Amino acid sequence: MRAEPDDASEQVTQALAGESLTVEGRRDGWALIRTAYDYPGWIREDALASGTGSEIGASPSDGDPVAEARGYLGAPYEWGGLTERGIDCSGLVHMAYRRLGRLVPRDADQQEAAATQIDEADARPGDLVCFGEPGRAHHIAFWLGHRSILHATDREGVNAVVEEPLANVDARPIRFVRLTIT
C-alpha cells in the first residue's frame, strides 16, 4: 500500500492476500483502500480481488504473541513490511497478534495509544516497550524480561528482527505498556 497513487510513493504498509479491504475511492487505475485495522492507503486496482474475506478475528487464540513474533527472527527490516521477506517494528507487533486472530493497530504510536502504561517493575514478557516522546512512539518492541527485547530494527549493522539487550537501543525516552486484547 502506498501513501499516494504512485508506484514511487512511500510504502506505508502491506495488504496481505485474503485481507478484507474497503475501497473508498478510485483514481487512474488506483484504489484508495482502508484495512480492517483502519489503515488507509493506495493500491493498484488490478491487485484487488473481489469477494475475498479475512481470517482476522475469526477465531481468536490465547497463544503467545512473543512466540509468534519469534517466527520472524532474522527477517530483514523493511519500512511498512508485514511478512518474513521484510517487516518493521510495529508490523512485528501487529502480525504477532494477527497470527493469533487478534487485531491491533498498525503503527507504534497507535499501538501505544491502545495500551495501558505500566511501570517497568510490573512489566511481563509480552508487554511492549515504546521509544520516543509519550503519545508519539516512533519505535516499539516486545519486552522479554531480564532487560531484553524482541524487535525489528534498521540499526546499522543489524537491519533485522532480533532479540537483544534493551541497552543496545539508543532511543529515549522509553515507556512500558500492556495491550489488553479481547
Residue numbers annotated as active site:
89, 139, 151
Number of neighbours of residue 11 by Cβ within 10 angstroms: 15
User: H-helix or E-strand containing 95?
Assistant: helix 89-98
- C-alpha pair distances (Å), 75 with each of 91, 150, 152, 162: 12, 12, 8, 9
Cα 122 from Cα 146, distance rounded (Å): 12
Per the CB < 8 A criterion, the answer to whether 21 and 89 are in contact is no
